[in-house]
Each structure stands twice: as structure tokens, then as C-alpha cells.
Amino acid sequence: MPIDELMKGEAMFVDIAKIKIKAGNGGDGAVAFHREKYVAAGGPDGGDGGKGGDIVFLADDNLSTLADFRYKRKYVAENGQNGRGARCNGKSAKQLVVHVPTGTVVKDAETGRIIADISRKEAVVIAKGGKGGWGNMHFATPTRQTPRFAKPGLPGEEIEVTLELKLLADVGLVGFPNVGKSTLVSVVSEAKPIIADYHFTTITPVLGVVRMGEGSSFVMADIPGLIEGAGDGMGLGHRFLRHVERCRMLVHIVDISGSEGRDPIEDFKIINAELKKFNPELSERPMIVAGNKCDLATDEQIENFKEFVTAQGYEFFPIMAAIRYDVDKLLNRIWEMLSTLPPISKFEAEPIPQIEVDKIEKNAVTVRENDGVFFVESEWLLNIMKSVNFDDSESLQYFQRVLISGGVIDALREAGISEGDTVVIYDLEFDFVE
């Protein structure tokens, strides 16, 4: 089959994509005063703005690729409505739900930080909508009875993310092309991969459910296209190596007969080296070895290869996948091993790293004053606030040092702030203390 036809099929399977997401902005608080007949001074009654819509990702078993994200690359949630008079709060915007295949890992495209692993059925918030601003009714005090200002809504989070699909499978089949991985999947499960006697017949990962009895089963994945240099981007294998990372164990299939003129021992060494090069942890993953096409091999070939792999600490099973010869022995051993192994791995979200205070230089800060309330705005400061836990004393001390190093305190003093005046930094409010 011509390579261009292969690549047409390959292009249909998309396991990595990059998109931009923008959560909704919070609505602005309202400046309004109560107006009622026979009531001389009703006071401020401006309502709060509504919260902007979050962007949430939800695992969808009906999706098997990230192909949809090749055509739509930006997702924007609705903004919250502004507040109104008569203490009417603006309506909060609905969440924007983005459906992704189960097993999708979401990363910050700029830093590579893992934001979430969408492997379960719960919706995961990836970008938070901005909080709605306070209406002027919140700023009324005994000495400030007619506040003519309100708090604007906060901007929603905006980020470019990389989506990586890492298949959820208990067992990953690895090995050179045309050694019988697809054949094995086809005879032990309901999966129907394309099978032919040329390389790269399988150009997308194939999942099959292997049933071991009433209520017992496991998922087996054929990882296609591995060749020498796959870890460095050769062939198709580099696109699919990431799918091996989640597998609880590996089955290394080797053409023990060397029917294509290759040395089975060298094949085994090469694939193991590529797995280790891609992710060193894979070299520690439990593995058993299946010597396929043993009907075409001599007794000496089988014995030599068995001695080699057992000396490396691996169990060896000679099979003929096409006619299911001794395949049940292999499946029973896989099932035994799976019963002792931990569940499929889940990638943990990584926290936003805090910037070292001594590396923070003074930045542009906007300070505006309204009747003794000082509003501070700065995009760089908003980004830093995302990494601060204001319920933790050490994190709070870090933020105080940021205010000094970043020039916020100096900007407040230049604006004429005094002891006890109120400072509002987005959704944080505190009294200024010298």
C-alpha cells in the first residue's frame, strides 16, 4: 500500500492537539441608589455582577481521537451579566463543557505543567470564570453613605493548552511491525484491526476487551509502528509511545522465527531500548515475552531465544497467534499478574509554581482611589495571585513580599493611601497597615 494512503488513514487518528480556552469575565457591580416615592434618601442598592462561565472538560467514551480539535481551536465561555439597581444581581453564565476522549491529559502549552488528567467521569474545571464585581451597596459605611463606585468583574482565566491522549489499557502490546500484535488482539477480543503482511498495516492504536469469565476482563492495546529510532521520532512509533505510559504491564511480542530476516534477540533489545529512551520508567514496567510464529521457527531458535529472555528475568511464552496456539496460557498468566498490580496510572495535576520573590522586579501597577477605597489592578499581579493560598500563613507572607518587591506598596503610597484605608486587589480586600 502506498505510504500516502497509509498517512491518510493515520491523519484520522489525532492524539495530540493545541487549543486556546477563555473563561467568561465576571459582570461588573452596579452603581445605583434606591428611588422610592416619599423616601428621601434610600441609599445605595447597586447589585453584584454575575460570575463568568467556567470551562470544564468532560471525559466522553464516544470519542476516541482529538480530531475535532483540529478544526475548532478556540473555546470561549460566556461573560456574567452586570449587576442592576434595586439590589438585583447579574446572572451568572453557564459553564462551557468541552468533551474529550477518556484518557486525555491537559497541559499548559507554555510550561508543560499538567493541569488535569481527564480519566474519570467527573467534569474538571480547566479555566475558572471571573468573579462578579460588587455593587456599590457593599461599600456603604457610616462615614461613606453614598458610594458612587462599584467593583468591576474579574477577568476569566485564559490559557493555551496542549491535549495529549494517553489510552487507558491494562496491557500494552509492543514489538516491531508485522510480528503479530494485531492478530493477537483480534483472536482474544472483539476488536477487528486491519491485518496484512506489510509493515505499518496498523496505523492507529487498537483497544480490545479480553474477557476471562463472568464479570472478569481486561483491556489490551496494540501499540503500532515501533521501530528503531521511534523514541527520536522515526516511523510512526513516536506518536504512539505515549500510549504505553499508562499500561499496567507490557507484553513484548517477537517474531521468533526471524521470518523477515531479522534477529529476534536484536529486535527485543531494540524495542526495549526505545521504550527506555522515551520514558525510563517503562524499563521497570512488568513485562512478559511472547514468541510468535513459533511454527516457523526451529527448536534451536526457540530454545536460544528462551534462554536469552529468561536470563534477562522475563517469562517466555511461545505462541501461534493466528490459530490461537497456547494463547490461553499467555492470557492466564497476564490475568494472574494484573491481579497483583496497581490500577491504571493517573497523572496528578501540578500546582502553579510560585515565582521567587527576589526575581520579581517592579512592574506597572494601576491604582485608582474612590472615597478612601484604593483599587489595584495589574495583569502580572493577577497571575501571581492564582498561585497563592490565602488561607496558608506562609503563602500569605509570600504574597506580602510580592506586594513590596513588585512596587504595589510604593504605588499605593504615591496615590495617597493612609493607615486604615481599604485596599481592593481583584477579589482580595484588606485594610492598609504601615
Can you spell out the DSSP letters for 249-262?
A: EEEEEEETT-TTS-
- Residue at which a domain ends, from 338, 372, 400: 338
Cα angle: 396, vertex 399, 401; to 5 degrees:
115
Q: Is 334 inside a domain boundary?
A: yes
- The residue type of 237 is G
pLDDT over 70 percentage in the chain: 88
Query: Can you point out the beta strands (E) in 95-182?
Result: 96-101, 104-108, 114-118, 124-127, 158-165, 171-174
CA distance 315 to 287: 8
Q: Tell me, what's the pLDDT at 1?
A: 36
Q: Which band of pLDDT confidence, cut at 50, 70 and 90, is reported for residue 222?
A: confident
Q: Are residues 149 and 181 in the same domain?
A: no
The conformational region for residue 198 under phi > 0 = left, psi -120 to 50 = alpha, else beta, is beta
Whose grid coordinates read 496528578? 348
Q: Are residues 185 and 324 in the same domain?
A: yes
Q: Are residues 291 and 416 in the same domain?
A: no
Give residue 401's domain range: 354-434
Q: Are residues 258 and 309 in the same domain?
A: yes
CATH code for the domain in which residue 377 is found: 3.30.300.350
Max CA-CA distance within the chain?
107
Quote the number of domains for the chain: 3
CA distance 259 to 255: 7
Q: Tell me, what's the pLDDT at 201?
A: 44
Q: Tell me, what's the pLDDT at 93?
A: 97
Q: Tell me, what's the pLDDT at 320?
A: 94
Q: Tell me, what's the pLDDT at 9?
A: 41
Lowest-confidence segment of 5-9, 82-86, 238-242 by average pLDDT: 5-9
Q: Tell me, what's the pLDDT at 240?
A: 65
Which one, of 178, 184, 182, lies nearest residue 330 by Cα?
A: 184
- The residue type of 342 is P
275-325 residue pLDDT tens: 888 888 888 899 999 999 998 989 999 999 999 999 999 999 999 999 999
- Residue at which a domain ends, from 166, 188, 210: 166
Residues in the chain: 434
Q: Are residues 75 and 190 in the same domain?
A: no
Per-residue pLDDT for 125 more than 50? yes
Does residue 376 contact residue 423 with C-beta atoms inside 8 Å? Answer: yes
Q: Are residues 203 and 301 in the same domain?
A: yes
CA distance 52 to 24: 4
- Residues 286, 122, 48, 132, Cα dihedral to 10°: 30
Q: Are residues 142 and 158 in the same domain?
A: yes
pLDDT over 90 percentage in the chain: 40
